[in-house]
Amino acid sequence: MRDFLVAGNWKMNGSSAGNAELVAGIIAGAPRSDRVRLVICPPFPYLAPVAAQAAGSGVAVGAQTVSQHESGAFTGEVAPGMLRDIGCEYVIVGHSERRELYGETSATVAEKVKAALDAGLKPIVCVGETLEQRESGSTESVVEEQLGAVIDKVGIAAFATAVVAYEPVWAIGTGKTASPEQAQEVHRHIRALLAGHESDIAAATQILYGGSMKGENAAGLLAMPDIDGGLIGGASLKAADFLAIAQAAAQG
3-state SS, the chain, equals: CCCEEEEEECCCCCCHHHHHHHHHHHHHHCCCCCCEEEEEECCHHHHHHHHHHHCCCCCEEEECCCCCCCCCCCCCCCCHHHHHHCCCCEEEECCHHHHHHHCCCHHHHHHHHHHHHHCCCEEEEEECCCHHHHHCCCHHHHHHHHHHHHHHHHCHHHHHCCEEEECCHHHCCCCCCCCHHHHHHHHHHHHHHHHCCCHHHHHHCCEEEECCCCHHHHHHHHCCCCCCEEEECHHHCCHHHHHHHHHHHHHC
Residue nearest to ligand PGA (CB): 233
173: contact with ligand PGA by CB under 6 A: yes
User: Closest CB to ligand PGA among 156 and 242?
Assistant: 242
User: Closest CB to ligand PGA among 44 and 195?
Assistant: 44
Window 215-234: residues binding ligand PGA (CB under 6 A): 231-234
Find the part of the chain contacting ligand PGA (CB under 6 A) among 111-119, 188-196, 207-215, 240-248.
207-215
Annotated catalytic residue 167: yes
Number of amino acids touching ligand PGA (CB under 6 A):
13
211: contact with ligand PGA by CB under 6 A: yes
User: Residues, the chain, total?
Assistant: 252
User: Closest CB to ligand PGA among 6 and 172?
Assistant: 172
User: Closest CB to ligand PGA among 180 and 210?
Assistant: 210
The catalytically annotated residue of 145, 167, 181, 216 is: 167
212: contact with ligand PGA by CB under 6 A: yes
Window 24-83: residues binding ligand PGA (CB under 6 A): none
The catalytically annotated residue of 95, 104, 111, 187 is: 95
Find the part of the chain contacting ligand PGA (CB under 6 A) among 35-43, 63-71, 135-143, 166-174.
166-174
Q: Cβ of residue 167: shortest distance to ligand PGA, in angstroms?
A: 6
Cα→Cα distances 131→106, 137, 138, 207, 231, Å: 19, 10, 10, 21, 19
Distance CA 180, CA 159 (A): 24
252: contact with ligand PGA by CB under 6 A: no
User: Closest CB to ligand PGA among 73 and 101?
Assistant: 101
Are 96 and 172 in contact, with CB atoms under 8 Å apart?
Answer: yes
Q: Cβ of residue 247: shortest distance to ligand PGA, in angstroms?
A: 17
Are 124 and 7 in contact, with CB atoms under 8 Å apart?
Answer: yes
213: contact with ligand PGA by CB under 6 A: yes
User: Closest CB to ligand PGA among 229 and 233?
Assistant: 233
Annotated catalytic residue 104: no
User: So which residues are the catalytic ones?
Assistant: 95, 167
Residues contributing to the site for ligand PGA (CB under 6 A): 9, 167, 172-173, 210-213, 231-235
